Structure 1
Amino acid sequence: MTGISTLIKVITSYVTVKVLATIVGPSGIALIGQLQNFITVLTTLGAGGINNGVVKYVSEYKDNQVMLKKILSNGFKITACLSLIVGFIIILLSGFLSKSILLDKQYSYLFVIFGISLFFLSINNFFLSVLNGYQEFRRFVIVNIITSIIGLIFTIILVLLFNIKGALLAIVTYQSVIIIFTVIYIKKLRWFTKLYLWSSWNKDVIKKYTYYSFMAIVSAVTVPLTQFIIRRFLIHEYSMTDAGYWESMNKISGLYLMLFTSTFSVYYLPKLSEIKDHAGLKNEILKTYKIFGPVLLITLIAIFLLKELVVSVLFTSSFDPVKNLFSWQLLGDFFKIMSWILAFVMVAKSMSKIYIITEISFSVLQIILTYFFVNHYGLTGAVQAYFVNYFIYFWTMVVLFKNILFKK
């Protein structure tokens, strides 16, 4: 069922990328990437970074109604309060953010709109996390399919009407609309009541969420911020167009990696959260490697061999330089997914300290490597740095989890 949802998301994402590439070109793709990175950061901050925690604790306590009420009500109140506060701050700083993120004050209205919609977007993501924790796959899949289709329709209509401004407007609006459809699908579920969603605060539950909040916020800030810094560096050293080529390669990666990362969130994380012993954890990790490793390898080889077709189908002839970035990017993607299989254990088992240290360390390392490789090898250096960073990250994960992987 996750595969069905992901397939539809890949198709709608492909059409979206194709429309954007045709109408706004490489420089427009770079600008869109800047806004998407910012929204990723603020969406996590607006939810308090607790969504993975909601998945874990709902999965863990779904048969304990007393504890479940505390988990849901505190999670809902944290999300509601923080999204309103962060949204208000975004509106106040709209002019500054427009100049800093999109390099022009004329886009300040986008940040005002996003500040207003953040509350609805955050509450929707909270409900989806609860469905995920309950493993309500049918409802979860339906809502995700609707999200993908609405996102596609919003983007195409607004891009055709307003060009690049329409694309940016679609990014900040469409996700908040989905809450209407989510509520329709969950309104009859037992937990969708005031009793479960709005009881008193509980210090112990807030403390539990805090671990996930730190991890999610660090992850949400470091990855988009790293991409933001690298993109700004490429714009400064080369041009907006060259930065657009690099961003386009990231878009291609995002499309096929979605097939793998969606399974991590929907199946793998709740499964790891349920496992209590090292033997079971080892079996689940090795089983995941046996399934994902060969499939990922075949997928990456096929994409490399078909890179000419991929670029021509996804983009236009003005994106031809992207073809030179494939080999290093695909190698980096392989080690990225292989390392994430282990990194998700840190999320599932609330290993917040080591998670935060590794996230920050390897984000900084990627920036340093990018500066070094780009100065020596040009634009290709950006994807070479990506590969080296995730190669080192993978072996770091193996060392960290050697006791689980190799001890009988």
Structure 2
Amino acid sequence: MQRVKKIFSADLVKVSFLNAIATFIKMLTGLVSNKIVAGIGADAIALLGQLNNLSTILLGISTGGINAGVTKYTAEHSGSPEKYNKFIGTGFWITIVLSVITGLVLIIGANFFSHTILHSNEYQLVFYIFGFTIVLYALNMLLISIMNGFKEFKKYVIANITASIVGLIFAVVLATLYNTIGALIGFVTYQSVVFFITLALVHRAPWFKWRIFTHQFSKSAALKLGNYSLMALVSAIVMPAAQMIVRNYITNHTLPGDAGLQEAGYWEGVNKLSTMYLLVVTTSLSVYYLPRLTELKTDYDLRKEVFSVYKLVIPFLILASIIIFAGRYLLIELLFTPEFRPMDKFFLYQLPGDLFKMSGWVLGYIMIARSMTRTYVTMELVSSSAQVLFSILFINLFGSIGGSIGYACGHLLYLLIMIFIFRKMFFSSKNAVA
């Protein structure tokens, strides 16, 4: 009974409800903006996927992966301004320095990024703009992590909802006016606008003082924040890089010319669909499951919790997969355009891959909760490398559909290794769940 009360505490219900609203709006705006870009063509979807992955990598680098640490230490010292000022100020200086360096790299290397990432020299302007705006992008993420630390859930959700709506507006207006390059520019600029909205939300908060951000850099605070960097940076860099490699391989090794880029667009389309419906699971895991794991001390309790989550997640994913597969032609028409009908061939392998992915993630969260940094980093590298290698193998054998086969095989391997790592927890008789 006490456990039930704890789970359904006021804070948890409040956070879950607000996050559900933000997630729904993010899904809705994402689907609408995706429909707009799909109207330009499959190649635009592929290029936007490339830019999305690159921005994830660069944002991770420009923030130093410290945002989770900022949230943690802000929450821990929320009653002591002297202490939380030290972490916020140090986080600010880390973010400024790294984001400025990242921005300069983007500006100087605009031609390289345009040619290498987007397969053409005509998109240099996108990277010039991104180079100038990434500082605001990174500062927005810092402010959001601070809000989260102070448990300003309403403002946190408003900021996320605003980001979704502004992103939709930028996508609709710029993609309609300027087609592919407009969609790409919209993607790299809208977060800079959101920064000013987030700033307006927090500037009257009791904790907000301009002098916080000029606080002297603290080496001790930086070292503590750095403990959270490695896992965050690996997550931000490794899997997006793997997706970029696979997308590039489909573009260059399936069909000649623009047809290869279109095939990559179909593959990216099914990935976007997966991302959207899996938001329901990933949001729930981050809001309830991860905090719950940090409270559990014994393998018995951990196993019991994992099984209870599997009892909810796996049936949901199986049902969702059946519905999506049965209605895939209708979904393609609704969320994309008739041009994307060749995308239907990817679903047969993508949907089992989603099931393997989420099943593995349920176990992967244990590594985060128990600070198993070395194991976590190793598994991220193994999973991403396996996905790339499997994808290249099957693309060579079966064409672009091999990207989805590789996705499924990579995540199945990850799941099997995770079961092996936690085999004692699963198969030890003393941990058996009654």
TM-score tier after normalising by the smaller chain length: over 0.9
Q: Is 1:137 aligned to 2:153, yes or no?
A: yes
1:27 aligned residue (37, 43, 54)? 43
Q: Which residue of 2 aligns with 1:321?
A: 342
1:383 aligned residue (391, 404, 413)? 404
Secondary structure, in 3 states, of the residue corresponding to 2:281?
Answer: helix
Deviation at 1:122, TM superposition (A): 0.5
CA contact (8 A) 1:73 1:200 kept: yes
Q: Is 1:340 aligned to 2:361, yes or no?
A: yes
Q: Is 1:155 aligned to 2:175, yes or no?
A: no
Alpha-carbon distance change, 268 to 47 in structure 1, aligned in 2, over 3 angstroms: farther
Deviation at 1:101, TM superposition (A): 1.3
Q: Which residue of 2 aligns with 1:4?
A: 21
Q: Is 1:242 aligned to 2:260, yes or no?
A: no
Deviation at 1:340, TM superposition (A): 1.4
CA contact (8 A) 1:191 1:197 kept: no
Deviation at 1:164, TM superposition (A): 0.8
CA contact (8 A) 2:126 2:181 kept: no
CA contact (8 A) 2:251 2:264 kept: yes
Deviation at 1:59, TM superposition (A): 4.3
Q: Is 1:104 aligned to 2:124, yes or no?
A: no
Deviation at 1:208, TM superposition (A): 2.5
Secondary structure, in 3 states, of the residue corresponding to 2:228?
Answer: helix
What aligned pairs does 1:112-131 form with structure 2 within 5 A after superposition?
112-131=128-147
1:297 aligned residue (318, 334, 340)? 318
For CA contacts below 8 A with separation 6 or more, give which structure has more relative contact order: 1
CA contact (8 A) 1:278 1:404 kept: no
Deviation at 1:284, TM superposition (A): 4.8
Deviation at 1:323, TM superposition (A): 0.9
Output the CA distance in 1 between the equivalents of 2:423 and 2:80. 34
Output the CA distance in 1 between the equivalents of 2:96 and 2:303. 37
Alpha-carbon distance change, 72 to 291 in structure 1, aligned in 2, over 3 angstroms: farther
Secondary structure, in 3 states, of the residue corresponding to 1:201?
Answer: coil
What aligned pairs does 1:214-225 form with structure 2 within 5 A after superposition?
214-225=230-241
2:201 aligned residue (185, 188, 208)? 185
1:392 aligned residue (404, 413, 423)? 413
Tell me the amino acid that sits aligned with residue 4 of structure 1.
I
Q: Which residue of 1 aligns with 2:89?
A: 73
Aligned residues: 406
CA contact (8 A) 1:160 1:166 kept: yes
1:85 aligned residue (88, 101, 110)? 101
Q: Which residue of 2 aligns with 1:172?
A: 188
* Structure 2: gaps (5+ residues): 1-17, 255-259
Alpha-carbon distance change, 198 to 297 in structure 1, aligned in 2, over 3 angstroms: farther
Alpha-carbon distance change, 338 to 385 in structure 1, aligned in 2, over 3 angstroms: same
Deviation at 1:63, TM superposition (A): 5.2
Deviation at 1:60, TM superposition (A): 4.5
Output the CA distance in 1 between the equivalents of 2:221 and 2:351. 41
Output the CA distance in 2 between the equivalents of 1:75 and 1:348. 23
Alpha-carbon distance change, 52 to 327 in structure 1, aligned in 2, over 3 angstroms: farther
Tell me the amino acid that sits aligned with residue 55 of structure 1.
T
Secondary structure, in 3 states, of the residue corresponding to 2:41?
Answer: helix
Output the CA distance in 1 between the equivalents of 2:290 and 2:343. 33
Output the CA distance in 1 between the equivalents of 2:269 and 2:311. 30
Deviation at 1:80, TM superposition (A): 1.9
Q: Is 1:373 aligned to 2:394, yes or no?
A: yes
CA contact (8 A) 1:212 1:350 kept: no
Structure 1 residues 43-75: Cα deviation after superposition (integer angstroms, max 9, x where no partner): 111111122333344444445655433332222
Deviation at 1:263, TM superposition (A): 3.2
Structure 1 residues 7-35: Cα deviation after superposition (integer angstroms, max 9, x where no partner): 1111111111111111x211221111111
Deviation at 1:345, TM superposition (A): 3.0
Output the CA distance in 2 between the equivalents of 1:289 and 1:133. 29
Structure 1 residues 118-168: Cα deviation after superposition (integer angstroms, max 9, x where no partner): 111111111112223344322111111111111111110001110111111
CA contact (8 A) 1:304 1:326 kept: yes
RMSD: 2.2
261-270 or 290-299: which moved more?
261-270
TM-score (norm 1): 0.92
Who wins on radius of gyration, i.e. which is larger?
2
Deviation at 1:85, TM superposition (A): 1.7
Output the CA distance in 1 between the equivalents of 2:248 and 2:349. 21
Alpha-carbon distance change, 58 to 260 in structure 1, aligned in 2, over 3 angstroms: farther
Deviation at 1:243, TM superposition (A): 1.1
Deviation at 1:392, TM superposition (A): 1.4
Output the CA distance in 2 between the equivalents of 1:186 and 1:345. 33
1:208 aligned residue (224, 231, 247)? 224
